[in-house]
Amino acid sequence: MEPTFSVVIPTYNRAQLLARTVRAFLAQDGVPFEVIVVDDGSTDATPEVLAGFRDPRLRVLRQPNAGLASARNAGLLQARGQYVLFNDDDIVPEAGFLQAHLALHRRYPSAAAVSRTYIPDGVGQEPFVRFWRARAESGVRGRAEGASLGWGGFWFASLSLPLGVAEAFVPFRGYGWEEHELGWRLWRKGVRPRLALKARAAHEDRVSLEVMVAKSRSLGRMAWQFYRLHPHPLVALWTGVHPLARAYKRWAYPWARAERLLQVRDWEAGAGAFAAYRFVLEAAYTQGLLEGKDG
């Protein structure tokens, strides 16, 4: 029987997280599927962990380390299902996950189905984790099953779409915008991202302020690669590369203030911590925008 879903999981050096995610997918029922894990040059115990699964629905591809886009593209090329579901190795699906994706596709045949991910309590209760949890879930809070998420709603960390409309990812030189760039292309083809509210999955990523500052700064730099691929006014405004947007961000989010906040972090225990976190991340993104202009 041909699979209804081809689940593509790229991974790099996260053996234990990967084991939880693969185990949760292999426990899904009610829908024929295959799981394609693309090991992007891992040097940890990933090969041994994958060898421990004895299930014909699991296929493993290995390649030299080439990045997330390359790993996803390799899995896409091997997909045989009616739908391809991209799922990061730290996003653990709950029971009924694939059935919920299928139900949304039947309701909206040409849509991309975005999973309802959440950051579980076990990831942590530190101030920044609580901030990130609230921020990550704000985009879907209060939305109904099948709600349209707009052109920025393509979150390929856990998203499915008909195999026939799927396209390859463009590798970026750093972290950021690869998913949105493909989403922009799909949106212009008429594919709309919709929330699969019942497709719940725990995002087990242990975030920290330092890591997210680095990622935000890279996002700012990579905004220019996105814009150069798609020099559209909406992309310029969306990413902030537009001259007026950059001028505003430079004024509103000075990097010097962010550096002071990062040096002395006693403010994290105060009532204004969430606002300070937002400022620091915006300042990091702005700094990346300014750095990437001539890159």
Which domain CATH number covers 178? 3.90.550.10
CA-CA distance, 14 to 87, in Å (whole number)?
A: 14
Q: 190 — alpha (psi -120 to 50), left (phi > 0) or beta?
A: left
Domain boundary among 203, 223, 241: 203
* 215 and 198 together in one domain: no
* 50 and 186 together in one domain: yes
- Residue 31 pLDDT: 97
Asked whether the beta carbons of 235 and 184 are under 8 A apart, the reply is: yes
* 240 and 134 together in one domain: no
Domain boundary among 153, 186, 203: 203
CA-CA distance, 71 to 65, in Å (whole number)?
A: 9
* 183 and 81 together in one domain: yes
pTM comes to 0.95
Rg over alpha carbons for the chain, rounded to the nearest Å, is: 19
* 214 and 123 together in one domain: no
Q: Any idea which residue has 């990097």 for tokens? A: 255
Written as tens digits, the pLDDT of the chain (295 aa) is 799 999 999 999 999 999 999 999 999 999 999 999 999 999 999 999 999 999 999 999 999 999 999 999 999 999 999 999 999 999 999 999 999 999 999 999 999 999 999 999 999 899 999 999 999 888 888 899 999 999 899 999 999 999 999 999 999 999 999 999 999 999 999 999 999 999 999 999 888 999 999 999 999 999 999 999 999 999 999 999 999 999 999 999 999 999 999 999 999 999 999 999 999 999 999 999 999 987 6
Sign of CA dihedral 205, 181, 86, 142: positive
* 197 and 219 together in one domain: no
* 35 and 105 together in one domain: yes
* 126 and 11 together in one domain: yes
Residue range(s) defining the domain that contains residue 266: 209-292
Beta strands in the chain (DSSP E): 5-11, 33-40, 58-63, 83-87, 91-93, 112-118, 158-162, 193-203
* 273 and 248 together in one domain: yes
CA-CA distance, 182 to 128, in Å (whole number)?
A: 30
Domain boundary among 203, 222, 250: 203
Q: Which of 189, 118, 107 is nearest to 146 (CA)?
A: 107
Q: Which of 68, 165, 73, 76 is nearest to 112 (CA)?
A: 165
- Residue 293 pLDDT: 85
- Residue 295 pLDDT: 66
* 11 and 140 together in one domain: yes
Tell me phi and psi for residue 143, to 5 degrees.
-85, 150
Considering its fold, how many domains does the chain have in total?
A: 2
Q: For residue 22, what are the contacts with CB-CB under 8 A and spacing of at least 6?
A: 9, 35, 37, 50, 53, 58
* 144 and 279 together in one domain: no
CA-CA distance, 58 to 123, in Å (whole number)?
A: 27
DSSP-derived 3-state class of residue 31: coil
Q: Which of 291, 210, 209, 294 is nearest to 250 (CA)?
A: 291
* 59 and 175 together in one domain: yes
